[in-house]
Amino acid sequence: MKKMVIKGTGRYLPERIVTNDDLTKFMDTSDEWIQQRTGIEERRWVSEEGNIGASDLGLEASKIALSRAGWVPEDLDLIIFGTLSPDLFFPGSGCLLQSKLGLKSTPAIDIRQQCTGFLYGMEIADAYIKSGHASRILLVGAEVHSTGLEMATRGRDVTVIFGDGAGAVCLEGVETDENVGLLAASLHAQGDYAEALMVEAPASRLNPRITHEMIDDGRVWPKMDGRNVFKLAVKRLPEVSQVVLDKAGLTLDDIDMVIPHQANLRINQFFQKSMNLPDEKIYNNIQKYGNTTAGSIPIALDEVIEKKLIPKEKGTILFAGLGAGVTWGAMIFRFM
């Protein structure tokens, strides 16, 4: 039976480092508040010049993943692009990335799953591989948040947490009887919470989609009911992680590393505590990058591999995340 294996990973973070102190120039906040409430010390934002979009960051991460897989873009059967900050309202960033890779007809899908974009992307890729519809897939999670954040005290709860960045993985279907690949997944959505984290305008449901008044009222900036999202995350992340462990017939002893979405270090500390995980079995990098949404898990995965924190063969990872939608989920992946 065909199993999905990871052939290469890559990440790209813009060079511009924005510290918590830098943010105090635009809004009433402090390094102390941000570190205490979120764990974030600094984040990367794209350069203010140059009109850099999610597909540009995705391209840099993809080039690294492709070269590590030993693939050229023409080897790809499919591109899956996860982002909530697409370059354009439409068409999707996957199409833009496809063009930047020099491809002329390779299919490209955008998925709008926010913080669980990588998790949904992995399950979609696995289904394509198992059904025989594709055998070499590039999955990218990339965000440029910084151009869409309110640089004022009104937006401080959201602005201080988000960072720009991209991660990419090359996935291949391989015929093997070994228990490798995507061992279990459990993905969910509950649109009742759509307004707990959203950008309201411009939008098709508004007529007109955008007005000067909407801009003045700040409806173009992300709004979040942070406490509610926090509560959902600390409850659902351990629950859904246990579901995938049970589905795979594994215990935490079989897991080499847990890579959670990087939304808030405190969420991940609660999660770690409820799962009774030792420090060396959970990976966090939010301190350096903030919340890069669809980019966060593949960026962390690339670092975990680079730092050799999991065995090269049969390394087993549990991924988990919750974010806007709300969407949430977990999955267990084992390397070949």
Q: How far apart are CB 227 and ligand UT7 at their closest, in Å? A: 5
Q: How far apart are CB 166 and ligand UT7 at their closest, in Å? A: 16
Identity of the residue numbered 263: A
Calpha distance 33→6 (Å, rounded): 39
Figure out which of the listed residues 12, 81, 120, 230 binds ligand UT7, where binding follows CB under 6 A. 230
Calpha distance 319→139 (Å, rounded): 15
**Cβ-based nearer residue to ligand UT7, 34 or 46:** 34
Q: How far apart are CB 20 and ligand UT7 at their closest, in Å? A: 9
Figure out which of the listed residues 3, 11, 44, 156 binds ligand UT7, where binding follows CB under 6 A. 156
Calpha distance 46→145 (Å, rounded): 9
CA 282 to chain centre: 16
Per the annotation, the verdict on 115 as an active-site residue is: yes
Of 128-136, 227-235, 244-252, 299-307, the window that binds ligand UT7 (rule: CB under 6 A) is: 227-235
Contact partners, residue 108, CB within 8 Å, separation at least 6: 78, 79, 80, 81, 92, 94, 95, 97, 98
Residues 139/82, Cβ–Cβ less than 8 Å: yes
Figure out which of the listed residues 46, 138, 233, 248 binds ligand UT7, where binding follows CB under 6 A. 233
Which x/- pattern over 238-277 shows residues binding ligand UT7 (rule: CB under 6 A)? -------------------------xx--x----------
Q: How far apart are CB 109 and ligand UT7 at their closest, in Å? A: 22
Of 9-17, 33-41, 277-285, 311-319, the window that binds ligand UT7 (rule: CB under 6 A) is: 33-41
Q: Closest Cα partner for 162 from 7, 329, 244, 40? A: 40
Q: Closest Cα partner for 259 from 196, 336, 315, 179? A: 315
Catalytic residue among 115, 145, 170, 264: 115
Question: Which H/E stretch holds residue 139?
Answer: strand 136-143
Catalytic residue among 20, 264, 268, 291: 291
**144 part of the interface to ligand UT7, by CB under 6 A:** no
Catalytic residue among 145, 170, 261, 268: 261
Q: Which long-range contacts (CB under 8 A, 24 or more apart) does 32-36 make?
A: 34/160
Calpha distance 74→68 (Å, rounded): 15
Calpha distance 158→319 (Å, rounded): 24
Q: How far apart are CB 296 and ligand UT7 at their closest, in Å? A: 8
Q: How far apart are CB 290 and ligand UT7 at their closest, in Å? A: 10
Please list the active-site residues.
115, 261, 291
Residue ranges in contact with ligand UT7 by CB under 6 A: 29, 33-34, 37-38, 115, 156-157, 160-161, 197, 226-227, 229-230, 233, 263-264, 267, 291, 323-324
